[in-house]
Structures are given as structure tokens and as C-alpha cells.
Homo-oligomer: A and B are copies of this chain.
Amino acid sequence: MVEHSGLDIMCLNKYSPGSSSSSSSNAEKKLFSKLKVSLTKTYPQKNAETLSAQYGTNLLLIGVSVMLALAQHGPAVKEEHLLAFITALMLVQLVWMLCYMIRRERERSLVPERDAHAGTSWIRGDARQQRFCHYYTPLNLALLCERVTVNDCAVCSGGLTMLALLSLIMDAFRIGYFVGYHSCISAVLGVYPIVHALHTISQVHFLWFHIKDVIKKYETFERFGVIHAVFTNLLLWCNGVMSEAEHFLNNQRRRLTELGYANISTEAEPHCNCTTSVCSMFSTSLYYLYPFNIEYHIFVSAMLFVMWKNIGRTLDRHSNRKRPSTRSPGLLLGPLLGLLALASSITVLVVYLIHVEKSEQTREAAVSMFYCYGVVMLSCMCGASGAGLLVYRVEDWPMDTGSNPSRQLDTELLLGSSLGSWLMSWCSVVAVAAAGRGSPSFRWICLAYSLLLVLEKCVQNLFIVESLYRRRRDPDEGPVPEIFSVTPAPAVPPYDGIVNRGYETQDKRCAALEGEAVENSAAFSRKHTDVTLPVGHRLNVTPGRKRQILKNITIFLFMCNVSLWILPAFGCRPQYDNGLELETFGYSVWTTVLNVAIPMNLFYRMHSVASLFEVFRKV
């Protein structure tokens, strides 16, 4: 597959010889003109993908190597070097986004092509404004009717927008911190949060209006631009994770030193006095906002990755079809139990944070309490996911075998991010098995917790993946649509450039779609009553009942995952405190494992929350 790159390699023109009568120079001329034609031809898509992927990867690795050097706290590599590098990347991304949006403005007259499955309902959280839309996965949104204009955007809550807002607050705190210590810290620490704030605002705007674009012009250039954005956000995520982990470890060391267990040096404070009275408030509050900043960047990274995968893609029109959304009656047990789980989690968090810092006995009691809570919570979640899987075995919805990059990415992210938690759990199991006499009393409950954690993730992943791959049985639907197809496009004129339905006459489109949706709903309800079931009358209500069960299960799991995100995000990490694994693996190895596993686990929980939200809407 070749593409229009817009980057013509013209340099060989200068070698074209002047007019000459000799046959050798004629042959040369022909060779060079053939070469010129070949080199100015379209650039193969696979090459462009590989090249841009390698560029982005190397950007990330440069940043990671600077971070590794920073972790050593040596005199040569300082925080400002890393921040300067990241600032430069953000500025490049800003410039690219600006160019992209200016070009889009100029090409407004063109009819756009959009991937209905890209983006996320997290951007536009208001379901009533999208009543014709059906959601598939966290990374896709079948928004054909863009009733949300720029003004409406201000009204939309949106999960991602909320995360971005908290990120902006964090930047404000950083600026405040810099103002307090500006006499003795580098100016980069003041420039960075300003650029980051600008970057956040521009990026959210970009995501609102352009995340679903399927780019068909200047593909090679745009590939580089988008992949640059992906890896810039990934690097910002890494930076957030590293800073947060370092802060947590410093607190840990400070606590151990106060308790007299160790005498480990902690991070150095700036060596000048704060010129305002709120420096400590800024520096403390900053770290409560880190989890949101971290999740914001990883989500944006994933969404931009889908956009990168979409470049040059030929969409199947059928895949962009909307489905009527359904109401959700009978939701009682799920939300109630979910709220109960959330309330108990917050209680456990508060009690844990208070008691873990006191004496050895209260620390052990706090850790035991956490593990008991964890065992109960995880058992319930396993049961709920298992029940959901059972419903799917009984229900006869067909599987959706079509190809969908964002759904595939969802699945891979879910399974990939489980790895950290699984490794951590198996290490705990090994530590319990290796524990000798004198080991704490909570080791068996720790073993049960670790095994349940592995099981719960496995069963939940299965449930989510099956939910994402199930289709609703739509009676007036034809054969299974092939979303991914290399067959010639249907009888619709091919699009050129970048397309954005946001500039169409929205009312006209929505009116047309409304009519179609009403007709479909009527047809659906007609067909539904026409189906003669082979069993008794009682089973006529079974499909609705099963959906009700699934919705309750989904919302319960949703709340549980939110709870299990809150706990480690805000400091409840007994893996650091229980001492079992530290004894078996050593401080260095165990903290490395946790520094990798805990951010992955946080991402897993947030991604599960988003996935379960989409499953809920789908059911």
C-alpha cells in the first residue's frame, strides 16, 4: 500500500545532465529520469509506519535514559535537563497541532472521513446529547451526529476533560512552587509547567475535534506528527510515574527513619527560603494530583495511537452505523453494592494511612486489615465476573468477528497492563512460601490475597473481552459486516485529505439519522415480538432479564475497580510495608518490581473502569 507523502525527493534533479548527443548520456538521462520518477513516487505505507514507529520509540528511550541517570542523583544529570528535553518535545507537538488545525480550517469544504470507533465517550460525557450513538469500547465512539459544537464542549463534563483540568491545577501548583523558590532553582522548572499547561489545553481541543480524523493527505508527515504526540505523552506519563514513585519512596524512607528502622537519606529540599507562605501546601498538594495527571497522559497516548493506526486506512461505511441506545431499568443491586464497596474502600484507605505510620503493631494490624478487605472484595469481584461469563454462555448473542483496531488495542492494553500486578502477586506468593519462622501472622492472608488478585484479573479480563466481542442480535441487520477489508471501497466517492463531519450542517444530518433511528427502533420492537420462542411464556422476558443482570454486574465491577484504583493511587501500598517480599527479594529488586507493577496496575484499573463503562452502555 503506497501513500501520498507530499515529500518529494527532488535532489537528483541537479544531476540531470544538459543536452548531449552521445548515446551514453542519453541512457544516463533516461536512467536518472527513471530514478527521479521512482524516488518521487509515493512512499510505501509499511515503511512509513516502521520509520515513524522507530522515531517515536527512540524519542521515548532518550527520555528514559535521562530518567535513569537522574535516578542516580549524580552531579551531572539534573531534573532541569529532563524537563528541558520534555519541554522541547511539547513545543514541537504544539507546532504540529497548530499546523494541522490551520490546514483543516482551510480544507473545511471537503467532506471528511471519520473513524466512528476512535475517540472515547470520556471526551463527551453527556449521554443524552448522543442518544443516537452506540459505544463499543473505551477507545471508540460511534459519533455520527455531532451535536456537540465548540460551545457545547464547555458544557460537557467528560472524564478526560476532568483529568486534564486536574492536570492544569497541578501545573498551577508547580508554578506557585517555582515562584516561592525561584531564587535558587532553575528557570526550567518555571517554564515547564507553563508549556505543559498550554500543551494540555491545545491537546484537549485537538482531541475534541480531530481524534476521529482519518488522515489521507501528507500521510508520512502526519504519521511522524501523531507518533511524536503519542510518545511525548508516554514520556510525560513516565516522568509522572517516576516523580510520584520517588516521592512515595522518600516518604517511606522518612517514616522508616523516624521509626528508627533505617537511616536512609531522603530527597534534598531547595537550599533557599520560600518567598511565599504556601510552598509546603503546593508541594504536598501536588502529589495528590499526580494520579490524575498520570492517567490523563496514558489515555491520551492510547487515543493518539489509534489515530496513528487509522492514518491511510480505508473505512468500511457499514462500521460507522449507529445503533439505537436503550434505557437501563432495574438497576438497583449493582449500584448499591458498588457504592458499598467504594465507601468501604475509602474507609480502609483512611484507616490504613493513619495506622501504618504508627508503631510496628499498628502497622501489622493495618496491613492485615487491608488484606482481609482485599480478600472479600476480590472474591465478590470474581463471583460477579464469573456470573457475567455464565450469562454470556447462556445468552445467544453472536460474536463480532470483524477487525477493529481500537478494540484490539483495548484488549492488548488490558492484558498487557495485568502483567505488572500478576508479577507482583506471584512474587508475594514466592515470598510467603519462602518465609521462615518469625514471619508475620498475615502471611497466609497475604497468600490468599495474591492468588485472588491473579484470579480476579483473569476472570475480569475474560468478561470484558467477551463483552467487547459480543454483538447484539439486531433483527433487521444483514450479514456480519467486515470492518477491515482490503476489497475495493463501496460505491461512495473516495475521500481525499482530512475529513471532519464537525463542519457539516449538523441538523440536517441529525434529522436524517433521527428518522432512520426511529424507523429502526420500530422495526426492532416489531421483530422482537414476532419471534416465537420454543419454550414457555416465562422465557419471553429472559433476554431483558439477562441484560439487567449484566448491567448490574458491570456497574458493580465499575465501582469496585474505581475503589481499587483509589487505594494505591493515594498511598495504600502494603507491598512496601509488609516486609515479606523485602526479605526475599531485597530492597533493590523489590522496589524495582513495584515501581513497574504499581503504575501498570493503576493503568489497568482505570482502563477497566473505562472498558466496563462501555460494556455497560453496550449491554
From B68, B393, B469, A46 is in contact (CB under 8 Å) with: B469
Write the nearest CB–CB distance from A22 to chain B, whole angstroms. Answer: 13
Question: A274 contacts the other chain (Cβ, under 8 Å)?
Answer: no
A399 to B46, CA, bound (A): 9
CB pair B68–A399 under 8 Å, yes or no, is no
CB pair B394–A65 under 8 Å, yes or no, is no
From B54, B77, B396, B435, A38 is in contact (CB under 8 Å) with: B396
CB pair A466–B584 under 8 Å, yes or no, is no
CB pair A584–B72 under 8 Å, yes or no, is yes
Chain B residues, CB < 8 A from A402: 486
From B26, B393, B396, A39 is in contact (CB under 8 Å) with: B393
Beta-carbon nearest neighbor of A44 in chain B: B399
Question: A585 contacts the other chain (Cβ, under 8 Å)?
Answer: yes
Chain B residues, CB < 8 A from A175: none
CB pair A415–B50 under 8 Å, yes or no, is yes
Write the nearest CB–CB distance from A448 to chain B, whole angstroms. Answer: 17
Total chain A interface residues with beta-carbon distance under 8 A: 77
Write the nearest CB–CB distance from A67 to chain B, whole angstroms. Answer: 10
Q: Which of A165-196 contact B (CB under 8 A)?
A: none
Write the nearest CB–CB distance from A4 to chain B, whole angstroms. Answer: 15
Chain B residues, CB < 8 A from A395: 38
CB pair A430–B58 under 8 Å, yes or no, is no
One of A375-383, A454-462, A559-567, A610-618 at the interface: A454-462
CB pair B461–A584 under 8 Å, yes or no, is no
Beta-carbon nearest neighbor of A39 in chain B: B393
Chain B residues, CB < 8 A from A584: 69, 72, 74, 76-77
Question: A536 contacts the other chain (Cβ, under 8 Å)?
Answer: yes
One of A103-111, A245-253, A421-429, A511-519 at the interface: A421-429
Write the nearest CB–CB distance from A261 to chain B, whole angstroms. Answer: 19
CB pair A434–B77 under 8 Å, yes or no, is yes
From B65, B77, B415, A54 is in contact (CB under 8 Å) with: B415
A61 to B430, CA, bound (A): 11
- Main secondary structure, interface of A, reads helix
CB pair B65–A462 under 8 Å, yes or no, is no
Contact with B along A479-499 (1 / 0, CB 8 A): 010100011000000000000
CB pair B2–A54 under 8 Å, yes or no, is no
Write the nearest CB–CB distance from A342 to chain B, whole angstroms. Answer: 27
Contact with B along A189-229 (1 / 0, CB 8 A): 00000000000000000000000000000000000000000
CB pair B430–A77 under 8 Å, yes or no, is yes
> A47-B466, A419-B57 given as contacts; is B426 within 8 A of A65 (CB)?
yes
Write the nearest CB–CB distance from A603 to chain B, whole angstroms. Answer: 17
Question: A280 contacts the other chain (Cβ, under 8 Å)?
Answer: no
CB pair B69–A434 under 8 Å, yes or no, is yes
Chain B residues, CB < 8 A from A321: none
Question: A51 contacts the other chain (Cβ, under 8 Å)?
Answer: yes
A39 to B396, CA, bound (A): 11
Chain B residues, CB < 8 A from A466: 44, 46-47
Question: A351 contacts the other chain (Cβ, under 8 Å)?
Answer: no
Write the nearest CB–CB distance from A8 to chain B, whole angstroms. Answer: 12
A482 to B41, CA, bound (A): 25
A461 to B50, CA, bound (A): 8
Question: A401 contacts the other chain (Cβ, under 8 Å)?
Answer: yes
29 A–B pairs (Cβ distance < 8 Å), ordered by A: A2-B399, A27-B536, A30-B535, A31-B539, A35-B394, A38-B394, A41-B393, A45-B399, A46-B399, A47-B462, A50-B461, A50-B465, A54-B415, A54-B418, A54-B458, A54-B461, A57-B419, A62-B426, A65-B429, A69-B427, A69-B431, A72-B585, A72-B586, A72-B589, A74-B434, A76-B584, A77-B584, A480-B486, A592-B592
| 4 further contact pairs, Cβ within 8 A, besides A27-B536, A69-B431, A72-B585 | A46-B469, A68-B427, A72-B586, A402-B486
**Which residues of chain A have a CB within 8 Å of any CB of chain B?**
1-2, 26-27, 30-31, 34-35, 38-39, 41, 44-47, 50-51, 53-54, 57-58, 61-62, 64-66, 68-69, 71-72, 74, 76-77, 393-396, 399, 401-402, 411, 415, 418-419, 422-423, 426-427, 429-431, 434-436, 454, 458, 461-462, 465-466, 469, 480, 482, 486-487, 535-536, 538-539, 583-586, 588-589, 592-593
